[in-house]
Amino acid sequence: MGPTGSSSARPTAAFFDLDKTIIAKSSTFAFSREFQAGGLISRGAVLRSAYAQFVYMVGGADHDQMEKMRQMMSQLCTGWDVQTVTDIVADTLHNIVDPLVYDEAVSLIEEHHAAGRDVIIVSTSGAEMVEPIGAMLGADHVVATRMEVSPEGKYTGKIRFYAYAENKAKAVRDLARKRGYDLDGSYAYSDSVTDVTMLEAVGHPFAVNPDKELRKVAKEKGWPVLVFERPVALGSRVKLPPAKPTLAALAIAGAAGIGAAVWVNARKAKRAHSA
């Protein structure tokens, strides 16, 4: 089931989650090795702070636990030098981002543009990382997590905007008011149950490679389920611009990616054990 043209006099849009919806793996986890190699994350800190915390909290993802995770991520990157992060990402961005995007997702983006819709990426990852990815994909706008940077060019540890759960839905509604989008005629795509409120904000929600909880919600609500399974090199589908990112928000993305990968692995282990 693909997008169709809109008869509405108001413009419509298509909102895409990033990880596991457009990109076949976490867009941030791969950076953790580069951050560790660059001296930003010690192996001990990774094991003690990120891995232990996320494994401990893998049993559920309510808002209290997400607040604890947000605090942990803030503490992990506090004091990191922005230029160091920028240099690391500039050296590795193409190697990390280029390899795997879903061919089906790129086709959908192209179809939505052909139908006259704006395409917006809505991601919990850092804005300054998501924005160049969005540019590569031809997205019209990006909603993502934003961190505060001190006048000295270091991460303060404060998060200006955390693009997660209801915050994503609110950002979608705010953007719709600002740009005049008809949300009833708009589309949204995600793989995660944490994005249910974002999916509910539009008239055409789609579950993409959904986790168990989102699959259940999609079945209850009658939402279409899409299976994306053809990852291709991004450069084979779109022209990649030179990578010169200024990633003021990437620290939170790197920390989030570490936890996200452990979260996924622990959930798989838990499900296998339950089976």
The arrangement of strands across the sheet holding 225-226 comes to 155-161, 141-149, 118-126, 13-16, 187-190, 204-208, 225-226
- 8 A C-beta contact, residue 188 and residue 199: yes
Alpha carbons 44 and 85: distance in angstroms, whole number: 19
Active-site residue flag, 19: yes
Active-site residue flag, 174: no
Q: What is the largest CA-CA distance in the chain?
A: 57
Selecting among 19, 118, 191, 195, the annotated active-site residue is 19
H or E element at residue 159: strand 155-161
Cα–Cα distance list, 166 to 20, 71, 122, 163, 274 (Å): 19, 18, 12, 8, 30
Selecting among 17, 118, 191, 195, the annotated active-site residue is 17
* Catalytic positions: 17, 19
